[in-house]
Amino acid sequence: MSKKEVSSGAEKAESLTRKNDTNETKKNPVKKTAKATAKKSTGKKSADKVKKVKAEKVKKDKKIKKEKHAKVVSEKKLARQKAREQKKLEAAKIRAQKKQARLEKKLEHKQKRLDRIAAFKEKAAERREKRRERRDMLKHESKEARIDRKKEERAAKLEAKVAKREARAAERQAKREHALKVKAEKRANKKERQHAPGFGGWLAAVISLGVTTLALGTMLTFGWLNMNGMQADMASTQMQSLYELNAIVDNLDTDLSKARVSNSANDQVRILSDIAIESEMAEVILERLPVDTQLTQNMTSFVNKMGDSAQSMLYAVANGKKLTESQKATIEYMYDTNLEMKRVLNELTANSSPKDMLKAMKGKDCNISASFGDLENNTIETPKEINDGPFSDSIKKVSAKNLEALEEINATEAERLAAEYFEDYDVTNVRCTGETLAAQLECYNLSLDTKDGEMMAQLSKKGGKVVMFNSYKDCNDKNFSVERCIDIAQDFLNDLGFENMKPVWTSENGTTCNLNFAYEQDGIIYYPDMIKVKVCEQRGMVTGMEGISYVLNHTERTAQKAAISESKAQSAVSSNVDIKAGRLTVIPLDDEEVLAYEFYGNYGDQTYYVYIDAKTGDEVQIFTVIGTAQGKALM
């Protein structure tokens, strides 16, 4: 059957069917509607089903997508959490390493400190042993053996000095030869580079040289004139400082004369305040003057101590106390010394001009330096104060009871004793220059000539004890340690007959070691019996000593016992102070000797000395250590 035939038959059958359905519908319209509705319902259900399937698919896709997103977020969160944990572990590891490093460093410092303490104790033990051996040797050594030993020591020192001088000379010669060799090489190289210039070059060189010479001459002339003007201005300024110093000393004379007779607390407070302020002003001007410090050191020390004494008296009067006899004697001493200073300065300002000051500025001899030298050597007998230390000004008694039973010596005997005391200084001549009254103690003034210069000394008329000694020797290098300087000073005091002296204070001022020694008896330090010593760290020798406190205060004392224990006394000290050590001492307080515990410690960057009464447990004195241009000092 062909395709056309099939198609035609099917079409006919379909047409017939539609016709029958139409006829039936016309006959039964209800049936027609039901069929249509059923057909429509079937189509709707199919559409709903499709929609539902699609919705479920979308929902499923969303769920899958959400799960994938949640999985990605979870992985990132987990990665961040792991990173944080890793970072925390690394930070904890770094902290642990730092802590370990700190602990190791702390242990290292602690070990070093222990090593230093052990080394210090070892050195101290060695020094004690050496001192003991020396004491035993000196005790059993005959006079002839001592003389021989001193000669050998001097010969060894001289030999060492000569060897050192020769080594320095050889070094200088080597440097000189090297410089000459370098200079010769430069000259030879310059000669090789030289050539004959043409006429144009020669003319240019001459013109250039002429212009340079003219400019240089103008500059030098102007600079010379300008420098002269500057020096004249400086000389005028220094003369004004001298006039100011003279005026201040005049005011001090007036105030000290009033202080001698004032009996009113209000007047004493006002007068002592003026003295303290004027002393500080005078000290500032003295340091500003263009005069060698060796010509003003005693004067500066006197002015400084005058201010300190006035301030101490001011505190006492302000607290309702009356001036003691010792304090009144101090005012008399200050008045007498200041009166002589006034006389010299009045004459100096009347007879001086800026030209004299210019000479002083250039270091030439003039009436200004001569006047200050006269004040230094003849008026102010007390040597330069050695940086304070606890109770450095412990002069309380007005008579030396320990010297009363001793025989009085004459000037000739004083000269002989001085030569014997200072035989290690190569003394060539000793002469007595007069007598003086130092803190109610009669003394001989002695001048000693040595190979290195002049020395001054004071010996007490009773017993011939050394009260003061000072020398003027250059001290520029540091060749000896503080520990070695202590041994040198200890030997020096032993040779002078001052035994059982213990170092209680050390301070370095440049290349000078300042030491305070106090008498020790039954394990107790007696601060009233104090001697101050200066040691040159270049030469390793004593260059100054002041023992007025010891000579006036020293005597045999009965043993004292503390009423409270050291631990109880320490509890009275402020808890802020980190206490390092404590010991039993006797201190001067209001013209009396008080048994007290001394505690040394730190608070912050400050060092403190606190004194607790060993009977009452009260705090009676406190010092703080400060740094100054001259070393350490107590305030």
Overall average pLDDT of the 523-551 stretch: 89
Q: What is the rounded CA–CA span in Å between residue 529 and residue 555?
A: 9
Integer CA distances (angstroms), 208 to 2, 198, 202, in order = 133, 15, 10
Which helix (H) or strand (E) is 610 found in, with range? strand 606-613
Strand partners, 470: 456, 544
Q: How many CB atoms lie within 10 A of CB 526?
A: 25
Report the range out of 27-36, 219-228, 399-408, 498-507 with the highest average pLDDT: 498-507
Res 393 pLDDT > 60: no
Q: What is the rounded CA–CA span in Å between residue 188 and residue 203?
A: 26
Name the pTM for this structure: 0.44
Is residue 515 within 8 A of residue 531, CB to CB? The reply is no
- Of 539, 551, 508, 531, residue with least CA distance to 425: 539
Res 431 pLDDT > 80: yes
Is residue 467 within 8 A of residue 460, CB to CB? The reply is yes
Q: What is the rounded CA–CA span in Å between residue 516 and residue 505?
A: 5
**Predicted confidence band at 501 (pLDDT cuts at 50, 70, 90)?**
very high
Q: What are phi and psi of 562, to 5 degrees?
A: -80, 145
Q: What is the pLDDT of residue 225?
A: 40
Based on the number of CB atoms within 10 Å of its own CB, is 531 exposed (0-12), middle (13-18) or buried (19 or more)?
A: buried
H helix intervals, 262-296: 265-288
Give 255's contacts (C-beta < 8 A, 6+ positions apart).
271, 274, 275, 278
Least confident of 131-140, 482-491, 563-572: 131-140
Give 111's contacts (C-beta < 8 A, 6+ positions apart).
none
Letter for the amino acid at 338?
Answer: N
Q: What is the pLDDT of residue 226?
A: 44
Q: What is the pLDDT of residue 382?
A: 42
Q: What is the rounded CA–CA span in Å between residue 589 and residue 568?
A: 21
Same fold, 206-380 and 561-635: no
Overall average pLDDT of the 262-267 stretch: 80
For residue range 115-155, what is the model confidence (pLDDT) as tens digits? Answer: 888 888 888 888 888 878 877 777 777 777 777 777 787 77
Res 546 pLDDT > 60: yes
Integer CA distances (angstroms), 72 to 63, 66, 79, 154, in order = 14, 10, 10, 96
The two tokens of residue 617 are 């447990």
3-state SS, residue 471 = strand
CA angle, 201 as apex, 195 and 206 as ends, to 5°?
A: 105
Q: What is the pLDDT of residue 577?
A: 87
Share of the chain above pLDDT 90, in %: 11
**Predicted confidence band at 505 (pLDDT cuts at 50, 70, 90)?**
confident
CATH topology for 561-635 is Nuclear Transport Factor 2; Chain: A, (3.10.450)
Q: What is the mean pLDDT of the chain?
A: 76
Q: What is the rounded CA–CA span in Å between residue 312 and residue 634?
A: 14
Which position has the token pair 């002296």? 501
Question: Is the pLDDT higher at 605 or at 27?
Answer: 605
Overall average pLDDT of the 51-58 stretch: 82
Which helix (H) or strand (E) is 598 found in, with range? strand 592-603
The two tokens of residue 69 are 């997103």
Q: How many CB atoms lie within 10 A of CB 417?
A: 20
Q: What are phi and psi of 202, to 5 degrees?
A: -65, -45
Q: What is the pLDDT of residue 53?
A: 83
Which position has the token pair 């760290």? 537
Q: What is the rounded CA–CA span in Å between residue 363 and residue 137?
A: 49
Q: What DSSP character marks residue 472?
A: -
The two tokens of residue 538 are 């270049």
Which position has the token pair 């800026």? 354
Report the range out of 142-151, 249-258, 382-391 with the highest average pLDDT: 249-258
Q: What is the rounded CA–CA span in Å between residue 184 and residue 99?
A: 63
Kind of pairing between the strands at 524-536 and 578-589: parallel
Is residue 249 within 8 A of residue 335, CB to CB? The reply is no
Q: What is the pLDDT of residue 520?
A: 92
Res 206 pLDDT > 50: no
Share of the chain above pLDDT 70, in %: 72
Strand partners, 628: 631
Q: What are phi and psi of 15, to 5 degrees?
A: -65, -40
Q: How many CB atoms lie within 10 A of CB 588?
A: 22
Is residue 428 within 8 A of residue 463, CB to CB? The reply is no
Q: What is the rounded CA–CA span in Å between residue 378 and residue 157?
A: 33
Q: What is the rounded CA–CA span in Å between residue 400 and residue 402?
A: 5
Domain ranges in the chain? 95-129, 206-380, 386-559, 561-635
Strand partners, 598: 583, 611
- Of 470, 468, 490, residue with least CA distance to 550: 468
For residue range 394-415, what is the model confidence (pLDDT) as tens digits? Answer: 554 445 666 777 888 999 999 9
Least confident of 76-90, 199-213, 308-322: 199-213
- E strands present in 296-380: none
Q: What is the pLDDT of residue 197?
A: 42
The two tokens of residue 205 are 């060189």
The two tokens of residue 542 are 């004593």
Sign of the CA dihedral 520, 525, 531, 536? positive
CA angle, 393 as apex, 387 and 398 as ends, to 5°?
A: 150
Angle 265-288/297-318 helices, nearest 10 degrees? 160
Sign of the CA dihedral 551, 553, 555, 560? negative
Half-sphere exposure for 200 (CA within 13 Å, toward CB): 0
Q: How many CB atoms lie within 10 A of CB 65?
A: 10
CATH topology for 206-380 is Methane Monooxygenase Hydroxylase; Chain G, domain 1 (1.20.58)
